[in-house]
Amino acid sequence: MARSALTEAALILVAAFASSLSSSSHYDGVMAAEVKPHNIVFILGDDIGWNEVPWNNPEVLMPNLYSLYNSSVQLPQYYAHPICSPSRAALLTGLYSHKTGRQRFVLVESEPTGLTLNHTLLPQKLKDLGYATHLVGKWHLGFCDVAYTPLHRGYDTHYGFYAYGEHYYTHETMGNESPIGFDFRDQDRVAWETKGSYSEFLFAERTEHLLLNAKVEGKPFFLQLASQNIHYPLEVPKIYEDLYPDNDFLIDKLRYAMLSALDDTIGKVVRTLKEEGLYDNTVIVFSSDNGAELGDLHGNLPLRGFKWSSFEGGTRVPAFIHSPLLGLEPRVHKGLFHITDWFNTILDIAMEGEEMSADELHHNDGFSQWSALKSGAPSPRTHLIYNLDIVNEKPKGAIRRDNFKYVTGELGSSDIGRHGPWLFNLDVDPNEKKNLMDEEPEVAADMEKELHQYLKDVITSDVPLGDSSGDPDNFGGAWSPGWCTAT
């Protein structure tokens, strides 16, 4: 008996459906659906201390950031390196800074060096996966050779500055270690037209533009918003100072005002994502690069220490991850999380649902935390290195294993003149007030031995003498590439 036309049509539909299931890499057992690669917005604040976010200090007015935090996976045990260049290198390589030579100091403008070229950086990995990659704001990983600069390290676009710090309106560097020069770029071009405009406003405008274009382009994107706020010098429009009329401590008032300016940018980012229909498939990360400066007396309270030190105040910084993909009920990820973990975590986000090759898993110092963040499982990390260096043939740095932390070679803050060693139990003493070296001698000995085992991985700190070849006067007044050879 001949099949009816209806039966033939049904068989064709069934065959087509079966074919679509077999070709899809995402199948839930009932039906398959194409899963779009997730967008990633990484907001990296500069020198924002533990006590300079609204969930730790109600005096700080950042309603947009606070709203994200209150619907995020919160990271109270999150760590960065003690200073800027090391943290940025760790984020983009997944390696501790003592393995890239960045562990001792920040890069200054006149140094003929940069983040070595033998590392494939995170944006390049994402670009290879089909992502559009953007950097808005601060780079601070070298520029003396164009090969060191963002457009040659995996970013499709860069709008911002190369060096470690500058004035917010003039965009001229501060001249602390090097000559004064203009430092602001739109791609490779010196963006002289930005002179006189507040940097945070410029970054907000460019970020909005990139998000609007992202909808048109239709590609998944990685957008790193590396704000200048709240790095010195402390400069901010008066409208933000006026938000703090009762704060008589000038440093706090200016820093909080700068944070409020950053918060306006964050609000614009979230609003644009929602208006363009991008929000539901976007992961938003917020992190500081290190703790607050020594001169900011209240920035890291109640934690001990400041930027530049391996104490908690220099390294334990505010962070969270927010996305409808994780649910919008606030959760606390109680385990350890280090800035090196973002490399593998973000790759895992980009590759979700796909088998990752050994190269894509990228064996480094980071752990992918994406599965734990989604499920609420414990962190895969049980130890971390805060920083590690060899100074005058002696180790300097700190390590953590579970709740114990061992510190040596650091200059103490409450016990001036002492360089350690210290042993702390951060579970009961998060503010590092009680040295347990005498009470826990076996633990101290084990951790000292462990720290010494890591010394074999320390490469010589890359801090060359400044080179006058890079003087901005040689390049029309702007800090520019072209006066060193990248390695």
d(Cα 96, Cα 89) in Å, to the nearest integer?
Answer: 8
Residue with tokens 């001036």: 416
Q: Give the DSSP H or E segment for 422.
A: strand 422-425
Q: Give the DSSP H or E segment for 312.
A: helix 312-315
Cis peptide before 54 (omega within 30 of 0): no
In sign, the C-alpha dihedral spanning 97, 98, 104, 110 is: negative
| Catalytic positions | 84, 140
Question: Residue 408: how many CA atoms within 13 Å on its side-chain side?
Answer: 21
Spell out the SS3 assignment of 56-114: CCCCCCCHHHHHHHCCCEECCCEECCCCHHHHHHHHHHCCCHHHCCCCCCCCCCCCCCE
Dihedral of the alpha carbons of 356, 357, 362, 368, in degrees to the nearest 10: 20
Tokens found for residue 312: 């908690």
Tokens found for residue 348: 């895992």
> Looking only at Cα atoms, what is the longest distance across the chain?
99
Q: Which has the closest alpha carbon to 108: 140, 81, 148?
A: 140
477 contact partners, CB below 8 Å, separation of at least 6: 181, 182
CB 249 within 8 A of CB 57: no
Q: Quickly list H helices, 171-283.
A: 199-217, 238-241, 250-275
- Report the first-to-last Cα separation within the chain, whole angstroms: 77
**φ/ψ bin of 376: left (φ > 0), alpha (ψ from -120 to 50), beta (otherwise):** left
d(Cα 262, Cα 236) in Å, to the nearest integer?
Answer: 10
Tell me the sheet residues that pair with 173.
166
d(Cα 187, Cα 210) in Å, to the nearest integer?
Answer: 13
Sheet with strand 319-322: strands edge to edge: 189-190, 185-186, 157-161, 132-138, 221-226, 39-45, 282-288, 319-322, 73-74, 331-332
d(Cα 393, Cα 401) in Å, to the nearest integer?
Answer: 24
Q: What DSSP character marks residue 126?
A: H
